[in-house]
Structure 1
Amino acid sequence: MKHLCYKIFGVLILVMVIASSCGSTKEVVDISEDEKIAFSQKEGDTIKIASDTVGYEIIIIEPGYDFWLKSIAKPEGYYSQSFLENRNNIYVQEWNQRVLQPQRFDPNLYEMQIDYSPNIDYGYDVNYKLYNYFIYFQRKYNQRLGPFLPRI
């Protein structure tokens, strides 16, 4: 009987070790000093993202975003338009899901849905600024809108 107890105890220890090693690890995003400055801005920036050809407009009022976009984000041309469109599709879908769940996600962060269609060519500028807003937002508010770690 004693031998059986040791075996059961040994199996329980093994299961606990395996379970603890399989636990999800939270990936930490390193925030630079320049980003901390951008994130600490109190005065609201207003960025207008528009495409005259498709009549599309987004207005972002977010303190520090303009500074972050100009000084920290990868420069225009770094990403291809198809890359930006693919990421924006993922981010917009998750964003809109969170807007619809105010009891689960902070309604002060996710206020309005974004009307973004993968069938419309919004142009490079709209996709670039929208993508970078999603990266800025995720890094500033420690959110994760997709399977990708929001990196610069």
Structure 2
Amino acid sequence: MKNIIYILLLGLLVYSCGTTGNKKFPSDRIANAENDTVRIANDSLEYEIIIIEPGFNLFINSYAMPRGYYSQNYLENKNKFLVTEYNQRVNQPMIFNPNLYLNEINYESDIDYGYEVNYLLYNYFVYFSRQYNQRFSVPTRI
């Protein structure tokens, strides 16, 4: 009798460790897991930010300071300097790694992009500096 119970438990264990079979997973979850892309758009202002960076979603959800921690004015001032330095590095591929600094960021300080855009852009710079061990002249520590 004892052996039958052990065999049943072993069979249940093997069955529970099986593959997912024909289970259907939401396609948006699969796409988000594979791409790790953050997109922010506002059609009325005609701007769009797309951040395609493995690990950025994890960083923003786990390690970044929560929304509302910084004021929008603080984020705008930081982003103005960070974008300027980043764009300077994009234009100097002989000095800075062109595989890291791919495209210029078109950020105009006289446009009100709103809190969310400034928050994500600032945290992208924090993530970028930590992930790739890059130092900007403006402190990006949280």
State the TM-score, normalizing by the size of structure 2: 0.73
Matched with 2:80 is 89
Matched, 1:151 2:141: yes
Determine what percentage of the aligned residue pairs are the same residue: 59
RMSD: 1.5
Q: Is the 8 A contact 2:82 2:138 kept in 1?
A: no
- Residues 129, 135 of structure 2: 8 Å contact kept: yes
Q: How many residues of Structure 1 are paired with residues of Structure 2 in the alignment?
A: 110
1:46 to 37, 50, 53: 37
Q: Distance in 2 between matches of 1:115 and 1:147?
A: 18
- Contact kept, 8 Å, 1:51 with 1:126, in 2: the verdict is no
Contact 2:78 2:138 in 1 (8 A): no
2:93 maps to 1:102: yes
Aligned with residue 126 of structure 2, among 132, 135, 138: 135
The alpha-carbon deviation at position 144 of structure 1 amounts to 1.2
- Pairwise mapping of residues 1-150 of structure 1 onto structure 2 (< 5 A)? 44-148=35-139, 150=140
Q: CA deviation at 1:54?
A: 1.2
**Aligned residues of 2:89 and 2:101 also touching (Cα < 8 A):** yes
Q: Kindly indicate whether the alpha-carbon contact (under 8 Å) linking 1:92 and 1:116 is maintained by their aligned counterparts in 2.
A: yes
Q: Which amino acid aligns with 1:52?
A: D
Contact 1:46–1:62 (Cα < 8 Å) also in 2 = yes
Q: Could you tell me how far apart the structure 2 residues matched to 1:124 and 1:50 are?
A: 13
Q: Deviations over 1:38-93 (max 9, x none)?
A: xxxxx541111223331111111100000110111001100000000000000000
Runs of 4+ that moved beyond 2 A: 49-53
* Partner Cα distance (2:73, 2:97) in 1: 30
> Could you tell me how far 1:147 is from its partner in structure 2?
3.1
Higher-Rg member (1/2): 2
Secondary structure of the structure 2 residue equivalent to 1:49: strand
